[in-house]
Amino acid sequence: MSVEITEDPIPQAVKEFLVVFKEDLAGVSFPDVSVEILEKLSEEIHDKTVQLQEALALVSAAQEALENAQNELIQKANRGLAYAKVFAEGKDELAEKLSRLSLGKPGRAPKKNSGEQPEPKRSRTRKNDVSAQEEPAA
């Protein structure tokens, strides 16, 4: 699983300044500012961006694993509840307790990041809206 940061972490204006500094101010340095310092900081930013991408991928994988484990637990609990309801037939008190339980449904499977945009949700038109749109036949 890979998470990508699409924006360049170095602003375009800073890149342009670095080019001007290299071309027009070669050999010039100011207190705490030189081509070498700026290039080193740019490299650090790229390294930290890679580290961030790796960390985000780990977070995403951990979140997916958590959701899968939660879904499996809910599925197993629902199956156990169904078995318990059959077992409780003729045992009114237990059947009553079990009938009050609602474990819910498992969530959706985590989405795979395929880069595709999800399809827009469809909505139905109300009957009143449809009849208002239709013109009476003459």
pLDDT digits (tens, 9 = 90+) for 57-116: 999 999 999 999 999 999 999 999 999 999 999 999 999 999 999 888 887 655 555 555
The predicted-structure confidence for 10-55, as pLDDT tens digits, reads as follows 999 999 999 999 999 988 889 999 999 999 999 999 999 999 999 9
Instruction: Yes or no: say if 79 and 106 are a contact pair by the CB < 8 Å rule.
Output: no
pTM, whole model, 2 decimals? 0.57
d(CA 28, CA 35): 8
Asked if residue 57 lies in contact with residue 3, where contact means CB atoms within 8 angstroms, the answer is yes
